[in-house]
Structure 1
């Protein structure tokens, strides 16, 4: 605060100077609190500064009023401190603590508001993310449907081209068949002509054969009559022979001969029967000749009819093929009609919903109005995203300001505690000094009384005792002198203590704090220079090690000549001296800062020297080196652990097919499969208190109800379930890859477009 803020108002002067230093410490404390008010007012979440102006004015007014009151209380001087003043100081301290509590409550409220706004914006952000994800899923579904439609269109075109190719091949086959049938027809015509010619010649032949057969028939009839007569004779002879068979053996030979003749006759009879049957057949053929001519005419007519039927068949097959194509197209269209009707109904419902939605938003259900509304929504979304970014930035800035405020509050609390401890020390010292002064005054009064008594005794005694009294008088004088000297020493000591107390009270703690800050800055600068120099030294040592490893060293035969006044050695010596002096200065300033922070103001330089004597810069260097080496070891161990853990995770993922992710500290584990198609396909497991694993419900787990029932409910085996999931996902991925491989040539070579009339 400025000096104008510390001016005291008239009419509020209160006597009291013994606690000037403590009052000034309180004033500096509240001055720092008033300075933090400017930081408190910054937590406004990008709102206008006019809304925060009354709160800022109130805090600044209260703190400045308290500061002015403390300053008014400590500006007056007094030789002693009254109990009323102590009570007043205590009341002021309580009031200051209450004000600090109010400020802390206010900061907590602002922090709560900050958290609420963060939660609100996080919710909005999550909702926006969900909306974006839903939009992405719809876009993906539409793209998938479009891909399916394109795929179906390509398949239909391919089928159409195949049908056209089949029809062309069938047409070619039918043309070949037609040509073959025409050839066969021509062959049949030639055969028919040949048959007509051969039939005419055969008729004449048949007539001649019939005549010959008639003649032969007559001849055979005559021969047959002769043979029948012969047979009758032979039968008579046979009967006679049979009768005479019993008479002699010679008859047997004759009988055998007769049997042979009989067989010959039977064979001749069979031949005769065959020739007779042949004549009958030939006669029947001759009788059937006109019928055969009629049949030939009928066959010719049949051939003509067959030619006509073949032509009609070809025409009908073409018509049937066309009708089949039309029927298949109609059937496909009929198959597509129900889903198209359902889709049309859905689209009509969606269109009605869009119309109602547009009517709800007060816009006409037209494309331009909806486009304008969507563009306005997109602009609003962009503005909202910009506002969210701004709010996030403001939240981050407010968090940083809040952290700075909290740090300053902690510093103020520490300073307050230090001031209270110093005040208590000063109070104790004042009480001790008062007791000492009271003891000294009492001792002085007692000595004065003794002197008075001795003087009275001396006046009352006579001259007879003059020699004895002279000795006693000299002894008493010596004693009085020694006592007076000790009294003077006590007085001087009291005066010195009072002067030191006044100096401590007169010293401004703000100046001490400024000096402390300045010393801290100097210490930081010296530490930075020390770090920079240590880095340079480490780099040079590393270069030397590299050169030594490379073999850049001198042979033992070489001799090195050094200058007496070597500038490098002198510069190194100066550098070492500077480093040592800087190290000593750093240690001295560090101890000075520590002493100032501990509240000791008197004889700082002497105490700093005493503390520096106990510190060893070499020990500090050794400890710093050990700390750096320990930090390096820890960092290397962390890196090794990170690498090994990452390697273990990768190996387990490659071997087992699952990546395990720890969700939180409540023993929840997410399992991502290697063959899952989307990152939202995961399984959730929880480690129970009994040491068993339980599977929690996820959308992906709900889609695996069969595997859950089979392996978890019935088999009670989590590894079997995980293996089954891996196998099912692997098989589905293989099938999808085969489908994609089948689809790739279609995409590379699209089918030709064919115009159908």
Structure 2
């Protein structure tokens, strides 16, 4: 480091002519080095430019080209050798001069030499004295300029090194951030395409769901209407069935009594018929005996006729024969009557059996009706509970007397939409926060740069620069103009990027980010305007203080005041207050949300309380539709129908002689048609039930087969007559005859081989069957052992599935 020691007027008078020549050379070299170093000086607002470039590189898809950095790099490469040589010479000479000025005792010698000259007393002493004073003043100015130049050179060297380090770090960081940004952008584009595809699929699904929902709502309304009609029909049918069941019970009781009487009569008649059959059999035997005796008697009569020819004996025999014939005819007539009565009684017995079957079917219908009634009661209770639950959640969703959601599905959809919105907002917030932090850092850098510019302005006001710095100032102005042009170019590029994003990806365009960038750009413009005002004030101050430049020569740089520290502390306090303000705003928002929720709960509680008070004031005596009234109405309708039918039957009985054809009353026909339709409906319901049971059984059997196949490795096939065929998955049959299967018969409790007892498969498993089935009596063990053996064979043969 070069010591920053101020030099007075006396220190400049000590060197001799060679020393002065060396001083002039050093001053020339220093001025040249000053021009060279100032040409390689960095432009002002470097942090602003670098941060702005980094922000644009991170936000754009293509890397921006740093013209200023390349310009500085070219200048530094072209002048690196000349700068290093000239700076080393100027530093060595300035350090030697400063050491001579601080340590060499030449001041007394210079004074004595001048005093010896003054003793000569030339003629133009006053003129020489004025020239000497002017020379001393110039030397003092030269020392001040040398000190300023060395200080500026040291500061510039330090700033250059620091700037180069920061530039390298910033470039490395920018490259890393650019790579990360490119990777993130590629991932974001991939995710965006995926999200767009998902959104398209979601839109299609929503459209299909909307159509399905409309169709489902129509079907639901139709189903509700049909269910209501069915409920009414069920209620009517239940009442009619109750009445019919009571009538049927009475009929069944009467029929049971008749059946009992008929069964007793049948038993008696069967006993009588048996007795009569026995008597008939005995009579037939007697008739056979008598026929034999008659034949014998006839032979005897013929023999007697042949012998005697007695007429009286023949008359007696004829009389007895006629009596026997009459008795036989009487027995045959009685037998025919008894056979006819037996046939009638058998028909009555068949009718009784039919009535018993009808009674059993009616009892089953009665049980089904009771089950339907219990299910209907349960459905009503569940409906009441669901209605209360619906009123409970619908009260929370009402807004200004109108319900926001008409169904839980709509509420769930709104909830999902809000979750998606919150997730997207959180994602946007996560992407905006780093940008806001970056902009805050940029603002802080601008404020620091503003403070440094203010400090430099104060320094320049206190230490006015000589006219030699005009070229450097002009160079700075040119660099500033170039930087402003570059900033305008980058702004236009950023605006084109924003326009492209808004055109191509309107959903991904962030308005808050663009607004924030616009605010920062306006802030930068304000800072530029303020810098221009400060420069104009500086020029006016330099113009006004140009006469005081000589008096101000040799004045040191003012010591930095506490304004910067106070401003920094003020900014920290403002940041803390802003954070506290945000925290308090978040607390206020959460409290407002809680307050609104509590108000909603209070309104719901008030509504429930009002409903409870209204329900407590109203007493329900009887419902409009209740089971008792429905039963009485159905009973009265059945009685009216029976009365009409009875009246028509009486009318038909009284006026039956005039009719030529057999007829029945219309009411009887209607009742029979109604019963026939009921029987048909029940038959269709039974068929549908059987079909559904078959389908359920088919599905369950398929699930069972799949489970057995997956767990045990056996194909199961159910065969009629309570049989089941098993076939191993590791040893399947080669033909459709299932020669490698095992058939189990549940009724007989037997096991057979599909290919027969002499097949290859039967011989293969004969040993295991004898051991496990015959000796151990364990069929699961037999199947497990057979599975293991077949699996080992399949593995060995390389056909494992």
Q: What's the TM-score, normalizing by structure 1?
A: 0.23
Q: What's the TM-score, normalizing by structure 2?
A: 0.22
Higher relative contact order (CA 8 A, sep 6+): 1
